[in-house]
């Protein structure tokens, strides 16, 4: 699991133990992580899990067809990476988001409408 997710989930668990409300937790995460903060639905899911006594930070194993990494969160994360450094490469985006080169390339071209410029 990526360190950022471990960190966020441990922060959520800590704040749940302090009996913070969901809205307070979300606000704190948005202050700390900005655009890289998890979606509200994700935060509420983890709040519920920790309230039910769950101790670990790993996702449950899923059965059936695996989900796709081409989702709104990765598209937005790719957009943010490009805004931070317009010279970033497709490979750097793929490594940063822990997705394949082909998927990163597809997000850039199909979802963000970007294309490579010739020098």
* Domain encompassing residue 96: 72-111
* Residue 62 falls inside a structural domain: no
pLDDT at 18 > cutoff 80: yes
* Residue 57 falls inside a structural domain: no
- Do the Cβ atoms of 14 and 28 come closer than 8 Å? no
Please give the Cα distance from 44 to 114 (Å, whole number).
Answer: 34
Q: What is the mean pLDDT of residues 14-19?
A: 94
* Residue 58 falls inside a structural domain: no
pLDDT of residue 114: 85
Q: What is the mean pLDDT of residues 86-100?
A: 88
Q: 3-state DSSP call for residue 88?
A: coil
- 40 and 79 assigned to the same domain: no
Tally of helices (H runs) and strands (E runs) in the chain: 6, 0
Cα three-residue angle 71-73-76, rounded to 5 degrees: 110
pLDDT of residue 26: 94
Q: What is the mean pLDDT of residues 63-77?
A: 73
Mean pLDDT for all residues in the chain: 83
Q: How many domains does the chain have?
A: 2
* Residue 60 falls inside a structural domain: no
Q: What per-residue string of b and e applies to 88-111 under the rule 16 or more CB within 10 Å gives b?
A: eebeebbeebebeeebbbebbeee
- Do the Cβ atoms of 114 and 108 come closer than 8 Å? yes
pLDDT of residue 49: 87
Residue, of 43 and 57, whose pLDDT is higher: 43
Quickly state the pLDDT bin for 61 (edges 50, 70, 90): low
- 48 and 76 assigned to the same domain: no
State the pTM of this model: 0.49
Q: Each residue of 30-55: pLDDT tens digit?
A: 999 898 888 998 899 989 988 888 77
Please give the Cα distance from 21 to 74 (Å, whole number).
Answer: 27
């Amino acid at each position: 699991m990526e360190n950022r997710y471990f960190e966020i989930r441990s922060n959520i668990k800590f704040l749940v133990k302090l009996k913070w409300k969901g809205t307070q937790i979300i606000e704190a995460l948005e202050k700390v992580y900005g655009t890289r903060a998890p979606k509200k639905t994700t935060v509420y899911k983890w709040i519920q899990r920790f309230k039910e006594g769950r101790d670990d930070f790993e996702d449950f194993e899923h059965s059936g067809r695996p989900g796709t990494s081409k989702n709104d969160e990765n598209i937005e994360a790719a957009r943010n990476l490009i805004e931070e450094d317009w010279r970033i490469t497709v490979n750097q985006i793929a490594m940063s988001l822990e997705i394949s080169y082909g998927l990163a390339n597809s997000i850039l071209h199909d979802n963000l409408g970007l294309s490579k410029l010739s020098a």
